[in-house]
Amino acid sequence: MTFQPTGSAALSHAVRDGALTLTLSGELDLGAEREVRAWIGEHAAAHGGPVVLDLRGVAFADSAGLRALINADAAARQDGWSLRIVIADGQLRQTLAVSGLDGMLPVYVEPE
Amino acid sequence: MTFQPTGSAALSHAVRDGALTLTLSGELDLGAEREVRAWIGEHAAAHGGPVVLDLRGVAFADSAGLRALINADAAARQDGWSLRIVIADGQLRQTLAVSGLDGMLPVYVEPE
Amino acid sequence: MAPEPGRWTVAATPDQVAVLRRAVCEYARGAGITDGRLGDVRLAVSEAVTNAVLHAYRDRDPGEVRVHATVEADGCLAVIVEDDGFGPLPRPDSPGLGLGLPTIASVADAVELTAGTAAGARLSMRFVTGG
Amino acid sequence: MAPEPGRWTVAATPDQVAVLRRAVCEYARGAGITDGRLGDVRLAVSEAVTNAVLHAYRDRDPGEVRVHATVEADGCLAVIVEDDGFGPLPRPDSPGLGLGLPTIASVADAVELTAGTAAGARLSMRFVTGG
Ligand SMILES: Nc1ncnc2c1ncn2[C@@H]1O[C@H](COP(=O)(O)OP(=O)(O)O)[C@@H](O)[C@H]1O
Ligand SMILES: Nc1ncnc2c1ncn2[C@@H]1O[C@H](COP(=O)(O)OP(=O)(O)O)[C@@H](O)[C@H]1O
């Protein structure tokens, strides 16, 4: 199932081996952040179990976009579901490193 | 009782009509902040009742100094004592206004 | 042969961040910027426009964001993001992470924040293109 | 008749914020700055040096903070605060309120943040003295 929000990110979700995989591609910025945040919150709450946030298709993220990730991490801690953020070795990885957030989020680098 | 910390702020305290008055003068900056913060926390906790923070003698404060005020306000809310921050119409008032913190703290302007 | 300066004016709304980011990147590409530097420009412009959208008008109706890009005599790319809002004012209740300005400073070669020409804030960024 | 530039070098420790604030204010007073403007210089220098103390060296041993003040040909007061730290890098775990840079921008007429000459950060502030 794919959902195209008003912004420039595309979202889809699927359950594999009991884990909910939320796949996001496109550009994660202020125009997409609010919708992405709500979408992650909704699906994660409905699922209740482990969540994988697959961001390998995210071509661009800025600090407004990173807020959606911080928010997902906070929600996971608060509501007690496990979170795994999977990224490629690209712009998002660099931006996370520049921001200093890479050490504060459960980020895993995997090839696309 | 007056206590002169390593920084450039001078601290004294007295109980009047059941309210603890903590009087601070001098310069409230990074060099003073940690000590001032600890001093406020200690006296307020020992007193338990309403606290007046008299800052009319503070000649200068910057955003590191304002942190001590935010911290006192947070401690008051958490531990349930009432706080009143009294300032003069000078640099501290201006800095609070520039920072946008004036509307977020229980600040009262009174003549010296 | 430097291109003509680029100028864009949009409403200070979240969807316009992507619009300006793409416009300036296209300009920078046309000016022959390297791929490495292009990523820095993209991120810095995105952060600067985001700040104008988030902070310039706050509870007011969103006004304009104006962007100006130009290649200077020494080959540097200069990008200016300007709004007509409150001016650069601290904001303890900022919805942001406080990462915008330091992120811009870390990817641009210089960033200058001043009051706008009439009102508002004016953020100037320079990128050495070395080409 | 502008005074000679002032230069100060101190260790990046909290007690030195007051030392540099006073040194630059005395310099500015000697340069004939008005009382109104002096308050802006005092606050901006305090914030800038605080940032160098808090952020430049983080978990490292504190290095130097260097301050340079000068009166420019047009009468503006220029103050530069420089360190040898990490350079201007975002910091999501900042102990600060995120008010330093916008406070400087709101009291100075211009503020520029760049990488330092060797390493670290370099913050330049200009104050129109109108005198
Ligand atoms: N265009 C602007 N207009 C008014 N204030 C601004 C503007 N840009 C930045 N600021 C101020 O600077 C502060 C720091 O900005 P930034 O580093 O991007 O962090 P954040 O946006 O996450 O708060 C903001 O909180 C705001 O107070
Ligand atoms: N001298 C410096 N060296 C390295 N980073 C800096 C320096 N000054 C500022 N920064 C970065 O800019 C950010 C914003 O600074 P500021 O607006 O003063 O807010 P705060 O100090 O409260 O975090 C800091 O959190 C830090 O990441």
In the prediction, which pLDDT does B3 show? 45
* Secondary structure (3-state) at B99: helix
Does residue B19 contact residue B49 with C-beta atoms inside 8 Å?
Answer: yes
Q: How many CB pairs under 8 A join B and C?
A: 14
D60-75: b or e for each residue (b if 16 or more CB lie within 10 Å)? Answer: eebbbbbbbbbbeeee
E-strand spans in B29-105? 51-61, 83-87
pTM value? Answer: 0.89
When pLDDT is averaged across residues D38-55 and rounded to a whole number, the result is 97
When pLDDT is averaged across residues D22-47 and rounded to a whole number, the result is 96
**Quick one: tokens of C102?**
């330091």
Task: Categorize the per-residue pLDDT at D22 as very low, low, confident or very high, splitting at 50, 70 and 90.
Answer: very high
Share of chain B above pLDDT 90, in %: 73
Mark yes or no for CB contact D92/C99 under 8 Å: yes
Mark yes or no for CB contact A70/C97 under 8 Å: yes
Cβ-Cβ contacts under 8 Å, D99 against chain B: 63, 66, 99
Q: Name the neighbours of D, counting chains with at least 3 Cβ pairs within 8 A.
A: A, B, C
Q: How far is CA C40 from CA C21, C50, D87, D116, in A?
A: 11, 15, 16, 19
Task: Categorize the per-residue pLDDT at A7 as very low, low, confident or very high, splitting at 50, 70 and 90.
Answer: low
When pLDDT is averaged across residues A17-46 and rounded to a whole number, the result is 93
- Phi first, then psi, for residue A106 (nearest 5°) are -75, 75
Q: Is the minimum distance from the CB of D56 to ligand 2 under 6 angstroms?
A: yes
In the prediction, which pLDDT does C1 show? 62
Residue B63 has pLDDT above 70, yes or no: yes
Q: Average pLDDT over chain B, rounded to whole? A: 90
- Phi first, then psi, for residue D62 (nearest 5°) are -65, 130
When pLDDT is averaged across residues B65-69 and rounded to a whole number, the result is 94
Spell out the alpha helix ranges (H) of A1-112.
Answer: 30-47, 63-79, 91-99
Element (H, E) at D51: helix D35-51
**Using CA atoms, how far apart are residues D54 and D86, in angstroms rounded to an integer?**
11
Does residue D12 contact residue D83 with C-beta atoms inside 8 Å?
Answer: yes
Which residue ranges have their beta carbon within 6 Å of ligand 1?
Answer: C 51-52, 54-56, 83, 85-86, 88-91, 94, 96-101, 121; D 98, 102
Cβ-Cβ contacts under 8 Å, A60 against chain C: 21, 42-43, 46
Does residue B11 contact residue B3 with C-beta atoms inside 8 Å?
Answer: yes
* Higher-confidence position of B82 and C92: B82
Q: Average pLDDT over chain C, rounded to whole? A: 93
In the prediction, which pLDDT does D12 show? 97
Q: How many CB pairs under 8 A join B and D?
A: 60
Share of chain A above pLDDT 70, in %: 93
